[in-house]
Structure 1
Amino acid sequence: MSLTKSVYNLLFRRTSTFAITIMVGAVVFERIFDQGGEAVFEQLNRGKLWKHIKHNYENKEEE
């Protein structure tokens, strides 16, 4: 109960801190969701993406 009351008093009691908490939470959630989705995409498409196969198509200049 003490932790709940502390969080309420710190983040949700005033409208300004509540709005900032929501905005920061949205940005953090967006970054985590984006990076998680990118990791899943990379895992599902391993070996098919350009960065994984470009060494097969690059010309190696002989000096």
Structure 2
Amino acid sequence: MSLASSIYNTVMRKNYAFVGVIFAGAFGADIAFDVYAQRFWDWKNQGRQWKDIRHKYALSSDEE
């Protein structure tokens, strides 16, 4: 029995398993896209975001 045959018998033949694999794949792809998009955004806008310049404008607890 080949690998492709065993994958087919495990995932594709049963509808609930196929739908589960589709949902898990979509969920994982969504998380991966969000993580990498956020990293790219932070990389391209480094030094211009509030988290990078907060120390210049925000008062510390001693100054309040």
Task: Bin the TM-score by the shorter chain.
Answer: 0.7 to 0.9
Residue 31 of structure 1 and its aligned partner are, at CA, apart by: 0.3
TM-score w.r.t. length of structure 2: 0.85
1: CA distance, partners of 2:38 / 2:25: 20
SS in 1 for 2:16: helix
Alignment gaps of 5+ in structure 1: none
What do you get for the CA RMSD once the two structures are aligned? 1.4
Identity of aligned residues (%): 34
Correspondence list, 1:1-63, <5 A: 2-60=2-60, 61-62=62-63
Amino acid at match of 2:19: A
Amino acid at match of 1:28: G
For this pair of structures, how many residues does the alignment match?
Answer: 62
Moved over 4 A (4+): none
The CA deviation string for residues 18-55 of structure 1, in whole angstroms up to 9 with x for no partner, is 11110111000000011111110010000011001101
1: CA distance, partners of 2:58 / 2:5: 61
Amino acid at match of 2:28: V
TM-score w.r.t. length of structure 1: 0.87
